[in-house]
Amino acid sequence: MEFSSKLLENAVVEMSQLPGIGKRTALRLVLHLLRQPESQTAHLAKALVNLRTEINFCKNCHNISDTEICEICANPRRDKKLVCVVEDVRDVMAIENTSQFKGLYHVLGGKISPMDGIGPSQLTIESLLNKVKAGEITEIIFALSSTMEGDTTNFYIYKQLENTNVQTSTIARGIGVGDELEYADEITLGRSIVNRVPFENSLKNQ
C-alpha cells in the first residue's frame, strides 16, 4: 500500500497491529475518524492510554479493577470458600451474566501454552495455590475453554492440588441449551451421554 501522507500511513500501521484488523480495515477505521469531530479521536486516544497506564488488578482475584480489592471479592454476601478459575475478565463477565455463581473468581490471565511461550509462572497459579495453602478455599471450579491449552492448565493446577483437601470440579460439557442434536460434534455428544445427569437435576435449572 502506497500512502499519500506519512501521518495517514502511521495511523494505519499502528491500527493494523490490533488482532483481526488488516491494513484495509485499519484505513477504513482511520478515514472514519477523520470524518468525525476531532474530540472523538481525542477521547478514544485518552481512554486507551488511561486504561493502559492506570490499569489495576484486584489483589485477591487478579481481575481488572479500579480498586485494590474488586467489587466481587469485597462483597460480603459471596461465598469466599468457592472459587471459579477463569482465563480473563471476559469469562468473569460471561459467568456473572448468568447470575448462577455466588462464589469468588480467580483470574489466571491466560492458559498454559508452550507454543506461545506461556508457562505456569506467567499465570497467577502460585497465588491460587497460596490461597489454598492458607485454607481459604474448599472448592475450586475449573471454567477454562475446552481446548488443548485449557485442559493442560486444568490438569497442571489439579496436580498441584493433589495433597490438599480442596474439592475440584469442572463446568459441565454437553449439548448447549436450544442446540439441535444432529449438529453437535461427536465428542461433545459422546461426553454428554457418558456424563448424563439424573432427570430431576435437569428440572432444577429451568
Residues that bind a second copy (CB under 8 A): 1-8, 10-11, 13-15, 17-21, 25, 27-34, 38, 40-56, 58, 63-66, 70-72, 88-90, 92-93, 96-97
- Among residues 184, 191, 170, 177, which one has the least CA distance to residue 98? 177
Minimum distance from residue 163 beta carbon to a second copy (Å): 33
Minimum distance from residue 197 beta carbon to a second copy (Å): 30
Helix (H) or strand (E) holding 167: strand 167-170
- CA angle centred on 187, ends 174 and 99, rounded to 5°: 20
The span from the first CA to the last CA of the chain, in angstroms, equals 55
Minimum distance from residue 178 beta carbon to a second copy (Å): 20
Q: Which residue, 8 or 171, is less far from a second copy as judged by CB?
A: 8
Minimum distance from residue 123 beta carbon to a second copy (Å): 12
Q: Which residue, 121 or 206, is less far from a second copy as judged by CB?
A: 121
Minimum distance from residue 3 beta carbon to a second copy (Å): 7
Task: Give long-range contacts, CB 8 A cutoff, 24+ apart: 195-202.
Answer: 197/172
For 205, the grid coordinates are 435449572
Helix axes 6-15, 23-35, angle to 10 degrees: 120
Q: Which residue, 60 or 166, is less far from a second copy as judged by CB?
A: 60
For 113, the grid coordinates are 501454552
Minimum distance from residue 144 beta carbon to a second copy (Å): 16
Q: Which residue, 1 or 197, is less far from a second copy as judged by CB?
A: 1
User: Which of helix, strand or coil describes residue 181?
Assistant: helix
Q: Which residue, 10 or 169, is less far from a second copy as judged by CB?
A: 10
Q: Which residue, 50 or 195, is less far from a second copy as judged by CB?
A: 50
Cα separation values, 77 from 58, 97, 101, 166, Å:
18, 17, 12, 21
